[in-house]
């Protein structure tokens, strides 16, 4: 049942499917007459009460139904992906005059190319990569492939100036990994891992290296013991390691 208020007097208007009894012929005739009279009323602003809410909207009838104009145009909520300001996108444009830089959050990797490293407009991309760690090292899940392409889409084989590759392990639980052994590795043309001279900053928990070309890069570390399964720990009665 929809209550329509023209002035100060409410009028009960039966609506199909709204609970009005149609069990008798008189009720059906009354409904038909009501709809015909209602259809002759021109649209006018009124107050409509439904579900305990009051809204000033124009109400009129047509083809036997009551139409609340304006409700259909109510804006629907639109949910957009959450974009955090300052978060890296994994790609960037690189120019000879200014260079460029990009980051890739899943691998905690940041790449910075200085001015003069490329001869023309280029595109830097950091994409996911998977590979087994080098022998004697453990995987920290910090691995990505870096590629640089010129305006024609060709890979840039070498850089005019060395670029900085930096991994952050601030959110990594090293566990039984020797922090001092952390080093950045790159894959050569055969797919073998090559250890790079790495600047390890334990304060900021970052590992950095300079490179003259791009390929897959990863940060790996060696375990504190050769065989983790053979590690014996001594604990007290409360389970505390001593």
Query: Higher confidence at residue 12 or residue 219?
Result: 219
Residue with token string 């709204």:
18
- pLDDT at site 41: 57
Residue with token string 């994994």:
90
Q: What is the average pLDDT across 6-21?
A: 46
Alpha-carbon gap, residue 58 to 63, rounded angstroms? 17
Closest CA to 88 of 102, 99, 98: 102
Strand runs labelled E in the chain: 2-5, 10-13, 44-50, 53-62, 65-68, 91-94, 100-104, 109-113, 122-128, 138-150, 163-168, 183-187, 193-195, 199-201, 206-211, 216-221
- pLDDT at site 36: 72
- pLDDT at site 17: 46
CB atoms within 10 A of CB 200: 17
- pLDDT at site 183: 97
Alpha helices in the chain (DSSP H): 25-40
Query: Higher confidence at residue 62 or residue 92?
Result: 92
Within the chain, all domains assigned CATH 2.60.220.30 are found at: 91-221
Assign 197 to helix, strand or coil.
coil
Rg (CA), the chain: 35
Query: Higher confidence at residue 28 or residue 138?
Result: 138
Alpha-carbon gap, residue 97 to 121, rounded angstroms? 10
- pLDDT at site 212: 95
Kindly report which listed range (6-10, 132-136, 140-144, 171-175) carries the lowest average pLDDT score.
6-10
Closest CA to 219 of 177, 162, 189, 191: 177
Q: Is the pLDDT of residue 226 over 90?
A: no
CATH class of 91-221: mainly beta
Query: Higher confidence at residue 227 or residue 118?
Result: 118
- pLDDT at site 92: 95
Q: Is the pLDDT of residue 102 over 80?
A: yes
Output the average pLDDT for the chain: 75
Q: 9-23, 61-75, 226-240 — which one is most confidently predicted on average?
A: 226-240
- pLDDT at site 32: 72
């Amino acid at each position: 049942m929809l209550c329509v208020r023209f002035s100060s007097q409410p009028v009960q208007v039966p609506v199909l499917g709204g609970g009005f009894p149609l069990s008798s012929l008189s009720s059906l005739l009354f409904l038909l007459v009501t709809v015909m009279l209602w259809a002759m009323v021109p649209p006018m602003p009124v107050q409509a009460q439904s579900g305990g809410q009051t809204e000033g909207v124009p109400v009129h009838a047509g083809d036997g139904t009551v139409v609340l104009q304006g409700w259909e145009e109510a804006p629907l909520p639109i949910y957009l992906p959450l974009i955090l300001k300052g978060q890296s996108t994994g790609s960037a444009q690189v120019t000879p005059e200014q260079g460029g830089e990009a980051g890739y959050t899943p691998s905690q990797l940041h790449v910075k190319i200085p001015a003069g490293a490329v001869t023309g407009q280029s595109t830097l991309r950091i994409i996911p990569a998977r590979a087994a760690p080098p022998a004697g090292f453990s995987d920290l899940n910090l691995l990505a492939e870096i590629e640089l392409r010129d305006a024609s889409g060709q890979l840039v084989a070498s850089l005019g100036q060395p670029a900085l590759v930096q991994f952050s392990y601030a959110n990594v639980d090293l566990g039984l990994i020797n922090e001092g052994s952390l080093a950045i590795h790159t894959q050569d043309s055969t797919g073998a891992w090559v250890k790079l001279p790495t600047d390890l900053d334990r304060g900021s928990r970052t590992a950095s290296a300079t490179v003259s070309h791009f390929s897959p890069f990863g940060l790996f570390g060696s375990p504190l013991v050769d065989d983790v399964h053979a590690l014996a720990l001594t604990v007290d009665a409360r389970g505390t390691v001593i």
